[in-house]
Amino acid sequence: MGENTDGEVSRAAEGFLRNHTGSKPFFLALGFLQPHDICYWIMRHTHDIGRLPIPELAGELPPLPPNFNFDEREPDQMIRKRGGAMAHKSAAEWSELHWRYYLWSYYRHVEMVDAEVGRVLAALEDSAFARDTLVIFNADHGEGMASHRMVTKGYLYDEAARVPLVICWPGELPEGKMDTTTLVSGMDFAPTVCDYAGVAAMPKARGLSLRPLLEGRGAPERAYVAAEAAGHGQLIRTARYKYICYPDDPVCQLFDVQADPWETKNLAGEAAYAAALGEMKKYHAEWDKGLEKMPGAPVSNSDEGVAPAGGAAAGRGKAARRAARAAKDAPLRRAAGKSPAAK
């Protein structure tokens, strides 16, 4: 648990930075668990609290996110996730008060890791390496945080799939800059580190070095970035759209992330967005084709036979069976307590 071990990690790093006397370059990688321990909080609060255990917190609870109510036209994998995994199944019965208490608790977990990161940065600032060390802060996944009435991880909405990336080098990189438009991938991490270390990136690296972007010499040239999640779900993200699909699933999702950054309305079934959907499917097929898959890996659903949201499966086999199962699982959608899609 991060509550017990993150302090050990930060103190070990602090000891290294304060005592290291070598002249050779070093690479120091630290892994903190928090705020991952929120999953244990969820396990211990499966049933609705009814009322706050500490009444004084009433004025401190964060509001629910704008996408607490959302478009219920989701892939079968997401529907089953809501009705299957213990954490998600329990959350479906929470009151709004319980959801807000969960958000408040999550921020307390964030504060724990914030203190440990602060310890490491203070040690670096006091060391001889303060001005010649590139610092990179990143995470492997996000947290539902009540968006789309979800908790934990393992799916492709932004709250779970989009993570922070903070890079700092005092005196060498511009300070106080925030870029929210450039398409960046977690696969860019290793090529960027290799670039700054003066070595070639791995032979089959799919990412790009972010060094030119960080130094103000131009953004990476790419039309899209891609990601995957449990259940073999994949997403394609361009500057304007985000496409989510699962193998052999009759329902896919398309969001206009510029007009709808909270992903509240699935546009995949709307005629006005047919061209955009087609382009995203083309990018997905291109990405999927380039993957070196292990034997037995599922095929892409970019092929014919998989319909957009609200459509019928035109193919046979698994796609058709998925469509039938989606219809059978309709009560699961209602049981989740979701409101109609935002207009």
pLDDT at 314: 35
For residues 166 and 189, give the distance between their C-alpha atoms in angstroms, rounded to a whole number.
Answer: 11
Give the DSSP letter string of 146-171.
TGGG--SSSS-SHHHH---EEEE-TT
Domain 225-337 CATH (choose: 3.10.450.50, 3.30.1120.10, 3.40.50.300, 3.40.630.10): 3.30.1120.10
pLDDT tens, the chain, 343 aa long: 778 899 999 999 999 999 999 888 999 999 999 999 999 999 999 888 899 999 999 999 999 999 999 999 999 888 888 877 667 777 888 999 999 999 999 999 999 999 999 999 999 999 999 999 999 999 999 999 999 999 999 999 999 999 999 999 999 999 999 999 999 999 999 999 999 999 999 998 999 999 999 999 999 899 999 999 876 899 999 999 999 999 889 999 999 999 999 999 999 999 999 999 999 999 999 999 988 888 876 665 554 444 455 443 333 344 444 544 444 444 333 333 333 333 3
Where do you find CATH 3.30.1120.10 in the chain? Answer: 225-337
Which residues have CB under 8 Å from 171's CB, separation 6+? Answer: 131
pLDDT at 248: 86
Torsion of CA 287, 290, 291, 295, to 10 degrees: 130
For residues 152 and 87, give the distance between their C-alpha atoms in angstroms, rounded to a whole number.
Answer: 8
Which residues have CB under 8 Å from 319's CB, separation 6+? Answer: 248, 249, 250, 301, 305, 306, 313
pLDDT at 16: 96
pLDDT at 337: 38
pLDDT at 88: 74
Angle subtended by helix axes 76-84 and 318-328, to nearest 10: 50
Helices assigned H by DSSP within 38-95: 38-44, 76-84, 86-91
pLDDT at 110: 97
Q: Residue 223 has what DSSP assignment?
A: S
Give the DSSP letter string of 185-207.
-GGGHHHHHHHHHTSPPPTT--S
Distance in angstroms between the alpha carbons of the first and the last residue of the chain: 41
